[in-house]
Homo-oligomer: A and B are copies of this chain.
């Protein structure tokens, strides 16, 4: 398979050879970003579509008081909002977590692909709907789940999203997120995240060590999270399973 982007889109709509070729060409010259480097900042004028080929990134926003809220994680294969360039300015920033390779597809090239390649267009739209579903699931988590449920839920989400695109062996997936990052994503403090992780570890459900996530007891984890994968709309996909 050419790259994570192609792989992901192919999970949403059956791509033909020409589609794959077009996507391959569009992502042929990725740009490298260092950890903590911003791909784009709040207030910037949106330009090309970003496509993560390697590495992780996140969308985030800094509040007046200096606190940070992470809004989404971008994994290999994920693309940033298709039509963003229609807006006058970004309302949030995007930053690399790990060293990352990111393809920049110009507005014109993207438009052309969307017009001439129906399968790609379809896959991109579905992908965007899924991203929105994830946003909504985060709102649900923050609003109505306890901290332990919230952490467990995010781990379920990230496991299922990461499994198809990174090296994974039986419930073991690399998770390059510090506790500070997790805290800012889940609306908690790093101190409390630490205690929750300890608790999840103690319960035997999962373990996070050296930046990798090991799901020891999938059933228990899904149960404590109250996790239902319907919002990821993985019908057509080579669904990763919990173990």
Q: Chain A interface (Cβ within 8 Å of chain B)?
A: 42-43, 59, 61, 63-65, 67-69, 71-72, 81, 83-84, 86-89, 91-92, 122, 125-126, 128-129, 132-133, 135-136, 138-140, 142-145, 184, 186-187, 226, 230-231, 233, 235
Contacts and interface: CB of A to CB of B under 8 A. Distances in A.
A135 B71 CA distance: 9
A92 B230 CA distance: 10
A65 B42 CA distance: 38
17 contacts: A63-B145, A65-B226, A68-B144, A69-B143, A69-B144, A71-B140, A72-B136, A83-B125, A83-B126, A83-B128, A86-B125, A87-B233, A92-B231, A139-B139, A139-B142, A142-B143, A142-B187
Copies of this chain, count: 2
Contacts of A140: 61, 63, 69, 71
A136 B91 contact: yes
Contacts of A126: 83, 86-87
A69 to B, nearest CB: 5
A139 B72 CA distance: 10
A226 B139 contact: no
Contact of A88 (B84, B92, B233): B233
